[in-house]
A = this chain, B = another copy of it.
Amino acid sequence: MKNLGILLSGRGSNFEAIAHSVAAGQIPARIAVVISNREDAPGLARAWQMGLPARCIPSQGKEREAYDREVVAVLKEHGVDIVCLAGFMRILSPYFIHEFPHRILNIHPALLPAFPGTDAQKRALEYGVKYTGCTVHLVDEGVDTGPIICQAVVPVRDDDTVETLSARILEEEHRIYPEAIRLVAEDRIRLEGRRVLIQPRLPAGE
């Protein structure tokens, strides 16, 4: 069983999807701690409701690495193996990334490398792509540039608005984020250059 640490800043709907998959036994892991950088994040309240260890570590006014040292200390205190960003609105310092090599995951609402950064759904819609989607990737020092574990494709309809498109992408996010975590928790991903190759599942008992 691996220990997951969830970082969020807002609603944390991906955190909820992960929590449901964990509760349903679909991921060989437990949620060891949920951390928010904002006291008012609805995801934090949700974690408390679920009876999960959860705490706020306020980021306001703190220098990036100093803040990350606080967060990493709490993650280690809870024995976290895999860090899942779920709408965590901060860029991680190199220090943080090196403390969890290839063990920090993020989800992005576009088919990376298209539309990295903010407002991905709006920019995809305005660009006029016929397909967009979402991407779970390992976090490296760039913005949305790390190796890709899973992607899902979402068609764009002529009558889509940012809201309708974002909602359909979010459904896929909730599906592929737990899948990607499962692959990492089962030690089934292998890097070849920056390609993530998936190893077959070992037969039970091995």
Contact = CB atoms under 8 A, between A and B. Distances in A.
A87 to B, nearest CB: 22
Interface stretch (A5-13, A46-54, A94-102, A110-118): A110-118
A128 B158 contact: no
Contact of A111 (B114, B128, B195): B114
- How many A residues are at the interface, by size bracket? 20 to 34
B125 A195 contact: yes
A195 B159 CA distance: 11
A194 B126 contact: yes
Contacts of A128: 147-148, 193-196
A181 to B, nearest CB: 16
User: What's the number of copies of this chain in the assembled complex?
Assistant: 2
Contacts of A111: 111, 114, 129, 131
Contacts of A148: 127-130
A132 to B, nearest CB: 9
Contact of A113 (B114, B150, B194, B197): B114
Contacts of A125: 195
A109 interface: no
A130 B183 CA distance: 15
A151 interface: yes
A46 to B, nearest CB: 30
A153 B114 CA distance: 14
Contacts of A178: none
A131 B135 CA distance: 10
A150 B127 contact: no
Interface of A: 111-115, 125-131, 133, 147-148, 150-151, 153, 158, 193-198
